[in-house]
A and B are shown apart, each in its own frame.
Chain A
Amino acid sequence: MRVKEKVWTYRDYLELNDDKRYEVINGRLYEMPAPILEHQKILMMIGVKFYHFVNRGSLGLILPSPVDVILSDFIVVQPDLVFISKENKDIVKDRIYGSPDLVVEIVSPTSYYRDRYEKFRIYEKAGIKEYWIVYPGEKAMEVWVLKEGKYELYSIAGGKGKVRNKVLKGLEVDLKEIFGA
Chain B
Amino acid sequence: MKVKEKVWTYRDYLGLNDDKRYEVINGRLYEMPAPHFEHQKVSGLIEFLLRGFVYKNKLGEIVDAPFDIILSETVVVQPDIVFISNDNLKNIKSGKLFGPPDLIVEVVSPSSYRRDRYEKFEIYEKAGIKEYWLVYPGEKAIEVWVLKEGKYELYGIASGKGKVKSKVLKGFEVDLKEVFNES
| A-to-B contact residues, CB < 8 Å | 107-113, 117, 135-140, 153, 156-160
* Residue pair A109, B110 in contact (C-beta under 8 Å): no
Residues of the B chain whose Cβ atoms lie less than 8 Å from the Cβ of A137? 136-140
Per-residue 0/1 for B148-174: is the Cβ within 8 Å of any A Cβ (1 yes, 0 no)? 000000100111110000000000000
Q: What is the total of A-B residue contacts with beta carbons within 8 Å?
A: 64
Residues of the A chain whose Cβ atoms lie less than 8 Å from the Cβ of B139? 107-109, 112, 135-138
Considering the chains assembled together, what is the distance between the CA atoms of A107 and B183 in angstroms?
A: 16
Q: Known A109-B139, A109-B141; judge A135-B113 contact (CB<8 A).
A: yes
Q: Known A109-B160, A113-B159; judge A138-B118 contact (CB<8 A).
A: no
Cβ-based interface call for B111 (8 A): yes
Residues of the A chain whose Cβ atoms lie less than 8 Å from the Cβ of B157? 112-113, 117
Considering the chains assembled together, what is the distance between the CA atoms of A158 and B111 in angstroms?
A: 6
| B-to-A contact residues, CB < 8 Å | 108-114, 118, 136-141, 154, 157-161, 183
Considering the chains assembled together, what is the distance between the CA atoms of A160 and B33 in angstroms?
A: 14
Considering the chains assembled together, what is the distance between the CA atoms of A109 and B139 in angstroms?
A: 5
Tell me how far the C-beta of A128 lies from the nearest C-beta in chain B, rounded to whole angstroms. Answer: 21
Residues of the B chain whose Cβ atoms lie less than 8 Å from the Cβ of A157? 114
* Residue pair B118, A158 in contact (C-beta under 8 Å): no
* Residue pair B159, A135 in contact (C-beta under 8 Å): no
* Residue pair B114, A156 in contact (C-beta under 8 Å): yes
* Residue pair B114, A109 in contact (C-beta under 8 Å): no
